[in-house]
Structure 1
Amino acid sequence: MKVAPENFSGYLEVQGRVDFDQNATVGARAAGTLTSVRVQRGDQVRKGQVLATVDASILDANIAELRTRLDLARIVYQKQAGLWKQQIGTEIQYLQAKNTYEGLERNLATQQQQRNLYNVVAPYAGVVDNVLPKLGETVSPGMPVVQLNSGQGGKVLADVSEAYAGSIKAGDKAIVSLPDLGKEEIESTVRTVSRTISATSRTFTVELRLPADKANRLRPNMVASVRIQNYGSSNTTVLPVDLVQHDEQNAYVLIVARQGGKPVAQKRVIKTGQTYNGKQEVTGGLKPGDEVISAGYQNLNEGQLLKVS
């Protein structure tokens, strides 16, 4: 085969997984018995929609009592304010009525905020993937209730060995394939590279974004095969890795040389670079136009006469 310059790329192959920016399990915010589940798997929900409710009967009774006291305090305050305008009564009586009324107002607002915690609310619009507890079960703060996926912001995450921390950067080209969606190879780029190395796995996480028409087909936790380009060279010599032989000191190939006008095998020491996918980059020792012997080279000796077809 004749040597001709070409482009060479090396890739790091890792396994990835699909995730979404808005893919979360919405949990309960208060303890109690689940009194209603208002959605089911596959339902489309809007942001702020109540998905389920937790028993708040005791708190509701407290709020009702507080409203009654607040109504009375409002009447007393209004009457006392009217009397004070007419210079009837003392200022202390007026201020006490005002303070009681405003204090109950603040108390009611606090109770209503606490009451809202008994509703499981959608933090964003999306589709219900799963409803975890059943009606009547007891839940506690933080306990998962509804798994909600917005379908937006689909991405692929991959954990990369810390050995490549210096060679992977944001903007690197990548190729992603998803076995569940066929063998199609999708061109992508590295969007972000984590600066934190996991203490347990000794890896860091990279994030890749896919084109919108491809991201729409993703599902959470799909397995992805990721190839990140961590090396590239243009106008370089590339040979099948099998053609490169080694002795005790050097790597070499056999090329076609002319001796007395006849073709003979000649040993040519070379300098090698990166290797990927069965191809070897050659950084020195060969020039364009050299003919590398690619058939029967295992049985040839230097200087042996060749039959060139």
Structure 2
Amino acid sequence: MRSTSAVLALSMLVTLASCGGGPGEAPKTVAPDVATLTVAPGGEAGGVAWDGVVQAVEQAVLSAQTGGRVTALNTDVDQRVAAGAVLLRITSQEQAAAAQMARAQVKSAEAQHADAKNRFERASDLIGRQLISRDDFDRVKAASDAAAAAVDAARALLAQAEQQLAYTSVRAPYAATVASRSVELGETVSPGQPLFTLYAPGALRLEVQVPQSDAEAIRAKPAAMVTLADGREVAAARVVVFPSADPQAHSNAVRVMLPALSPQPRPGQTAKVRFAAAAGPAGLWLPATAITTRGELTGAYVVSDQGIVLRQLRLGSRMADRIEVLAGLAAGERVATDPVAALAWLRSHQQPAGITHD
């Protein structure tokens, strides 16, 4: 394994290499004929980047709303489901019995109300002819009102019981993709227990936390560049800065709406977001193809009129096909865009010293 010092010594030998010179002749330098780029701060990769996670605009965690044992499991992770589709069924004997009892109570209350209503109608006729006292009429009227209220209460209990029965069939609230499943067939579940996570394919967004000092600038210029996990870069014109800041983290949440994409990124994937309004200090960036790894050394071939030097670099974040250089390069230096071509040039112009580039 080559050490950094060996590589640097090699680069010194290469820069002193001559073309066909004999002993005693002054060494002649040969300008490398490899493609290069000039390192400059900023550029299109400039700007401060924040990590975010892709979210679906419509996403829901479905939880059990009644207790029982899972008797049917009709879907699994990464499957598409239609709106209203039954995803899962829970035992319903107790809920069905409660609903049947509630229906019987409604019928009983309605019968009692019908009888009380007839009594009230007769009492209304009699009071008009002054054949009963006001007290007797009031008692009949109160009984009729109470019977009507009992019907309302019984119907409310029936609605509640039928809803509990309906909860034994867990349905998709909208057309969606199943992101996760947290239950198994035969498992006993209780109210509030998570069952599925669904998301509607389509509208996607990211949320990132930015320093309060950048929030106003982003609000004034709400545009962002998003680098997805697969390397694609997407311009986002819909950016919303939350009106309130986190007093503990001293940051503001920013929501970035993604445009329609094909293929779509998956919710949960990471992405990097850069805001032009929050440019920050300019950095140095290189194409990822210009970076080479040789043993334990990661660097790039720096080109000058005197030769080529393999320079060790300290790298930072990556944006699509570019990598940030934290240390090892200065603005204005030239870097070989093709490390293989740079290595070939070194091999063809080195002095016989028994040192290899492998």
TM-score by length of 1: 0.60
Q: SS where residue 227 of structure 1 aligns?
A: strand
Higher-helix-fraction structure: 2
Is residue 2:252 matched to residue 1:204? yes
SS in 1 for 2:246: coil
SS class of match (1:110)? helix
How far apart are 1:76 and its partner, in Å? Answer: 5.6
Aligned partner of residue 221 in structure 1, secondary structure? coil
1:229 to 268, 271, 276: 276
The answer for the alignment partner of 2:75 in structure 1 is 39
CA offsets 1:148-184 (integer angstroms, 9 cap, x no match)? 110121112222233423432264332211132xx33
User: Which runs of structure 1 show a deviation greater than 6 angstroms over 4 or more consecutive aligned residues?
Assistant: 82-91
Q: Are 2:53 and 1:17 equivalent residues in the alignment?
A: yes
Summarize the Cα distance change of 1:99–1:193 in structure 2 as closer, same or farther, 3 Å threshold: closer
How far 1:116 sits from its partner (Å)? Answer: 3.5
Output aligned runs, 1:73-152, within 5 Å: 73-75=109-111, 77-78=113-114, 92=140, 95=144, 98=148, 100-152=150-202
3-state SS of paired residue (1:226): strand
Measured on the aligned residues, the alpha-carbon RMSD in Å equals: 3.7
What pairs up with 1:230-309 in 2 under 5 angstroms? Answer: 230=277
What displacement does 1:225 show?
2.0
Take 1:195 and 1:103, find their aligned partners in 2: how far apart are those partners? 45
| Aligned match of 1:68 | 104
Identity %: 24
**Which of 184, 195, 208 is the aligned partner of 2:232?**
184
Tell me how far apart the structure 2 counterparts of residues 129 and 55 of structure 1 sit (CA, whole Å).
Answer: 25
Tell me the alpha carbon deviations over residues 57-102 of structure 1, each in whole angstroms, 9 at most, x when there is no partner. Answer: 2232122123234334445655676687678999739826655544
Aligned to 1:159: 209
User: 2:95 aligned with 1:59, yes or no?
Assistant: yes
Aligned 8 A contact 2:102 2:161 in 1:
no
Deviation at 1:137, TM superposition (A): 1.8
Deviation at 1:39, TM superposition (A): 2.4
Aligned to 1:289: none
SS in 2 for 1:24: strand
Correspondence for 1:195: 243
Structure 1: runs of 5 or more not aligned: 1-6, 233-237, 241-276, 279-293, 296-309
CA distance in 1, matches of 2:247, 2:168: 38
Task: Confirm or deny: 8 A CA contact 2:223 2:239 kept in the other structure.
Answer: no
Q: Which runs of 5+ in 2 are unaligned?
A: 1-41, 127-135, 285-323, 326-331, 334-358
Provide the rounded CA distance (Å) in 2 between the counterparts of 1:177 and 1:111: 51
Distance across 1 between alignment mates of 2:220 and 2:265: 22
Pair 84,13 (structure 1): closer, same or farther in 2 beyond 3 Å = closer
Q: Among residues 246, 259, 265, which one is paired with 1:218 in the alignment? A: 265
Question: TM-score normalized by structure 2?
Answer: 0.53
Amino acid at match of 1:62: A
